[in-house]
Amino acid sequence: MVSAISSSVQAVQYSSSTSSDSASQEAALETQIQALQDQAKAAQDQVDAARLQQQIAALQAQLDALKAADAQKAADKTKTDQGQSTAAVRQAEFDGTSTTQTELFRM
């Protein structure tokens, strides 16, 4: 009888220590899992950030190209306008029409 009680107490003690060890192992594993999930999220955030930076760079290049094209168009228009203005002054001089630019040119 004493040995049966003793065996039963030992079984409960073993079960209790196993449960305690199991609970601490579970907690440690849950902590490790959470840490790895956090690392995975940080890595994904870095990947997403890199992808977004690439998209930003591509869009910035497109914007720069459009601005350069607009600047070139404006420069060409200014050049054309100046050419037309010069041509109009020359035509006025030929026609004998007095213009401010013609008068200044003759001075």
Chain segment 37-64, per-residue pLDDT in tens: 999 999 999 999 999 999 999 999 999 9
Q: What average pLDDT does the structure give for the chain?
A: 77
Q: Provide the whole-model pTM.
A: 0.46
Collapse the DSSP code of 16 into the 3-class scheme (helix H, G, I; strand E, B; otherwise coil) and give the result. helix
Cβ contacts of residue 93 below 8 Å, gap of 6+?
Answer: 102, 105
CA distances to 14, 37, 38 from 32, rounded to whole Å, are 26, 9, 10
Residue 59 to residue 66: CA distance in whole angstroms: 11
Output the six-digit token pair for 64: 């720069």
